[in-house]
Every structure is written in C-alpha cells, then in structure tokens.
C-alpha cells in the first residue's frame, strides 16, 4: 500500500471536508509488533471493510484484523463520485463470452440487488450517508450520442431488461430530469443512488470496529506471503489473507503489474441557490453523465452543490502515487469548462473544492474477486471507478468463498467475475506508453466525432479491447 502520509483528512475531498467530528475520530492505531489472526485484511477501504462486515455477521467469533497504511477510507472510498450504481466494468457480451448469456444477466441482476443491499444495511444501521436513490440519467447531446443511446437500450432488450431497468428518454423527458444544454434525449436507469462516500466508509469502519475487528492504521504492508503479511512494524500470521488494496496494489512486492493506478479528479461548487436548481433540475438527486467517450460523472449533493468529476489525468510512470497528483490545475480547469458548458447558469458559482485520487484498472478491464484455499489468499479489485457498489458484492462473495455461509439468495460464488484472472500489465515503459496513448485516443475520439459527426474508429477499437 502507499507509504503513510500526514495528509489532513479534510484535504482529501469535499466529502471528508464536510464530515461531522464524530466520523473523524481515530479508529485504529499502528501495529505494535508481531500478531496473529484468523483473517487479515490489507486495506481499510470499502472492499476490506465490507468483507470484514459480512465475515463477522457470518461468524462473530472470527479474529479479523484490518491493516491500513494510512487511515480507514483514505483511498478512493472517501474520494469518489458517490454513485452507488449497478455499473460493472466488463460488459454483458464479455461476461457472456467468459460464461454464458444467463450468467451475464445474473451478474447484472446481482449488481441491481447490491444497490438495494447497501441501502438496506445503511438504513438498518442508521447510517446517515445522504442516500437518495434517484437513478442515473445519461444525456445524449449529439446525434451520434442519441444513436448510441438507442442502440444501447435496444441491446438491453435482447438480454431481457425492460423499461423498469433501462429506459430511453426523449428530449422533453430528459430535460425534465436534467436541463443541460443541447439535450436530444437520454437513457435512464433507477439502479443508482447518490451518497456522500466518506460518510459511508467512516460509518462502515466504525461499525466493523464495534463488531470486533481490530484496526492497525499507519501500518504499511510490504508483502503478502501464504499465511503471513509483513510490515515495517511486524508481521501478522493468519489462515486467510485478503488483498483489498485497489489502486495501491502496485506498491506491494510482486504486484507491480497487477493493477494500473489511474487518476480520476473531481471538483465541487458552493451550495447553489434554489433558483439555480429550478433551472438545472435533478429534483430526485439523479446522478448524471453524458454519452462522450471520456467519462464524466456528477451528482447533486445533499447540501445543494454539484460534485463533478471525470477522467483525463495522466497515468504516472512506474505506477507512482503521491498526494501532489490529487490536484491537476489543467484537468480541473477542463472539468469546470465541461460543467459550465452543460450548465451555463452556474458560471458565476464558486468552486470550493478540488481533489482526486487513483483507481485500479486490470489489463483486461475486468473487476474480479476470488479465493485460493490452498494458499489462503483472497482478493478483490480492479473496479475501474465502479466500486462503490461492487465492493459490497465483493465482501459478500468473499465471505461465501471463505466461510461457506450463504449471503442471501443465489450462489454468489458462481458469478462470472469470481476467480477471474486478468493478465498482467506490460512492464515499463510500455505500460506508461500504452495507458497514456489510450487516454489520448479516447479524448481525440470525442473531438473527432464532434467535428465530423461520424463514429470514431479508435473508440470502437478501444471498446473491443476492453471487453465491451
């Protein structure tokens, strides 16, 4: 994991900056020396915390320790866009090729159920995570984007998904939800909720601690071996070790090429006036995006801001991760241009926060989770930014794999992402060249399509390469 830092939690994101004091209270302390446990989890983000939560629900007697280089929620879990969505990085066709059409549909429906599961747990635990399940609207703002939206909905129909899962909106229906510029239509799915992600991760961490898990924070794991993880403060022996490190995975010995850490950056406006919100919409706090290739994402926060982010930051040579990379003036300025192009009425609003952080991408764009009983090694990750919900599914699935205890209806352990093995990324400098060339190709695809009105061949090639 990343080297311990002294970065003030309030500087990590707008979400952290607005947390109430009780959620900022320390949870763990550094590892005091060698220790032992039944299950040791590396990483105190959503993946590690949900895994601990369900393990302890299944068997409260388990000795579960969570080892974190910084503090619980330091990584992407406390900095993301706050979409509890049913998005999964591998598309239905890729899932079907690896398994079957019925299993691909089962994976998608498991993601639908996961959105509901997070809401159920938050309600049962009385967590105030600013939950609002308003769904997701993806705008079509060019004729090509509208054509793509129609094709997407038609494709979903061939898989058996109806209007209740994915709908095509005409221009009037789309504008009624989100009154952006140049709207020609949109797609809509109800399977997404807007939340404050830092509230979720800190509430979850506190609950897991109260359930009996031991937290060792400010403790950098250097390597994972069968039955033992090694840190600069001592070693922990455990029958099962779970790697839950996502974008920080390359800092572990032997894992340099497992996942590529790619940055996603965000900004937040000041709370907007009700008169501005009357112009913009998002009355149900729908999360939103549009049909461009270079991903953007946004939400209306509970306190009336727009939290908005997107890709575009470069991959850094050698999978380098530092706090300085969380803020890139050029990328943040570009995000503001996109946001004010969508909503010119907010041009005079103040941007109060900018931030960012790394997410993890596998070489084949597949998220995966799995467990090798012979070595006691379990893992989950590679969410490509779609991890707020997928981490919960990972936690339940790993619990079923490790304990054999069912986590609800259906067999989660036979879903097509379980025990999937992604190929390694290329060594440097090929990894740096390939990742940044792909970023440029995606950016240029949007420019070419806007100029010519024709689909980009580059975008089509990239879509095939990443399994869509």
- What is the distance between the alpha carbons of residues 3 and 81, in angstroms, rounded to a whole number? 24
Instruction: Single out the residue of 51, 68, 56 nearest to residue 370, CA to CA.
Output: 51
With residue 310 as reference, give the H or E element that holds it: strand 306-310
241: tokens are 């070790």
Q: How many CB atoms lie within 10 A of CB 25?
A: 8
In sequence order, the 6+-apart residues with CB closer than 8 A to the CB of 382 are 89, 246, 259, 360, 361, 362, 366, 367, 368, 422
Prediction pTM value: 0.94
Residue 242 in domain = yes
Residue 455 has pLDDT above 80, yes or no: no
Residue 452 has pLDDT above 90, yes or no: no
Instruction: Single out the residue of 256, 247, 246, 253 nearest to residue 225, CA to CA.
Output: 253
Average pLDDT, the chain: 93
Residue 48 has pLDDT above 70, yes or no: yes
Average pLDDT over residues 46-51: 98
Residue 458 in domain = no
Alpha carbon distances (Å) from 190 to 27, 92, 288, 377 = 35, 18, 12, 36
Residue 63 in domain = yes
Q: What is the pLDDT of residues 69-95, one digit of tens each?
A: 999 999 999 999 999 999 999 999 999
Q: What are phi and psi of 53, to 5 degrees?
A: -60, -50
Q: Which domain holds residue 207?
A: 9-80+197-257+364-414
Residue 257 has pLDDT above 70, yes or no: yes
Residue 332 in domain = no
Residue 306 has pLDDT above 90, yes or no: yes
Q: What is the pLDDT of residues 164-193, one digit of tens each?
A: 999 999 999 999 999 999 999 999 999 999
> For the chain, percent helix, then strand, then coil, each to nearest 5?
40, 20, 40
Q: What is the pLDDT of residues 95-122, one digit of tens each?
A: 999 999 999 999 999 999 999 999 999 9
Average pLDDT over residues 120-141: 98
Residue 1 has pLDDT above 60, yes or no: no
Residue 44 in domain = yes
398: tokens are 């790993």
Query: pLDDT value at position 4?
Result: 43
More confident residue, 455 or 173: 173
CATH number at residue 46: 3.50.50.60
| Structural domain total, the chain | 1
Average pLDDT over residues 127-131: 98
Residue 303 in domain = no
Residue 263 in domain = no
Query: pLDDT value at position 212?
Result: 98
| % of the chain surpassing 70 pLDDT | 96
Average pLDDT over residues 446-464: 66
Task: Specify which residues 214 forms β-bridges with.
Answer: 65
- Please check whether residue 67 is in contact with residue 231, taking contact to mean a CB–CB distance below 8 angstroms: yes
- What is the distance between the alpha carbons of residues 283 and 168, in angstroms, rounded to a whole number? 19
Q: What is the pLDDT of residues 193-249, one digit of tens each?
A: 999 999 999 999 999 999 999 999 999 999 999 999 999 999 999 999 999 999 999
Residue 247 in domain = yes
In sequence order, the 6+-apart residues with CB closer than 8 A to the CB of 20 are none
């Amino acid at each position: 994991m990343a080297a311990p830092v002294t970065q003030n939690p309030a500087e990590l994101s707008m979400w952290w900056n607005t947390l109430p004091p009780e959620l900022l209270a320390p949870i763990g302390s550094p590892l005091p020396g060698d220790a032992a446990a039944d299950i040791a989890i590396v990483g105190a983000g959503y993946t590690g915390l949900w895994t601990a939560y369900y393990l302890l629900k299944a068997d409260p007697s388990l000795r579960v320790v969570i080892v974190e280089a910084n503090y619980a929620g330091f990584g992407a879990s406390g900095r993301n866009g706050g979409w509890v969505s049913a998005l999964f990085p591998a598309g239905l066709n890729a899932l079907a090729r690896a398994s079957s059409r019925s299993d691909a549909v089962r994976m998608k429906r498991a993601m639908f159920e996961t959105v509901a599961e997070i809401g159920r747990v938050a309600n049962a635990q009385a967590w105030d995570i600013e939950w609002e399940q308003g769904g997701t609207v993806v705008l079509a703002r060019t004729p090509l984007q509208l054509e793509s939206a129609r094709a997407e909905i038609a494709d979903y129909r061939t898989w058996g998904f109806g209007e209740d899962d994915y709908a095509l909106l005409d221009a009037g229906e789309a504008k009624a939800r989100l009154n952006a510029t140049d709207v020609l239509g949109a797609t809509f799915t109800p399977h997404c909720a807007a939340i404050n992600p830092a509230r979720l991760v800190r509430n979850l961490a506190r609950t897991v601690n109260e359930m009996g898990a031991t937290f060792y924070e400010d403790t950098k794991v250097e390597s994972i071996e069968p039955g033992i993880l090694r840190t600069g403060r001592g070693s922990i022996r455990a029958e099962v070790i779970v790697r839950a490190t996502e974008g920080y995975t390359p800092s572990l010995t032997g894992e340099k090429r497992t996942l590529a850490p790619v940055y996603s950056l965000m900004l937040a406006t000041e709370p907007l006036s009700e008169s501005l919100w009357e112009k913009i919409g998002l009355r149900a706090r729908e999360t939103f995006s549009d049909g461009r290739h270079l991903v953007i994402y946004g939400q209306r926060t509970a306190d009336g801001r727009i939290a908005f982010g997107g890709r575009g930051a470069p991959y850094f040579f050698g999978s380098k991760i530092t706090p300085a990379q969380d803020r890139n003036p050029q990328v943040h300025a570009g995000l503001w241009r996109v946001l004010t192009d969508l909503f010119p009425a907010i041009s005079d609003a103040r941007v109060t926060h900018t931030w960012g952080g790394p997410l993890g991408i596998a070489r084949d764009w597949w998220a995966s989770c799995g467990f090798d009983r012979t070595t006691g090694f379990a893992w989950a990750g590679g969410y490509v930014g779609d991890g707020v919900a997928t981490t919960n599914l990972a936690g339940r699935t790993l619990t079923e794999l490790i304990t054999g205890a069912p986590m609800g209806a259906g067999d989660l352990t036979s879903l097509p992402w379980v025990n999937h093995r992604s190929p390694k990324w290329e060594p440097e400098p090929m990894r740096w060249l390939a990742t940044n060339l792909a970023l440029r190709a995606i950016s240029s695809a949007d420019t070419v399509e806007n100029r010519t009105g024709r689909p980009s061949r580059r975008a089509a090639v990239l879509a095939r390469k990443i399994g869509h």
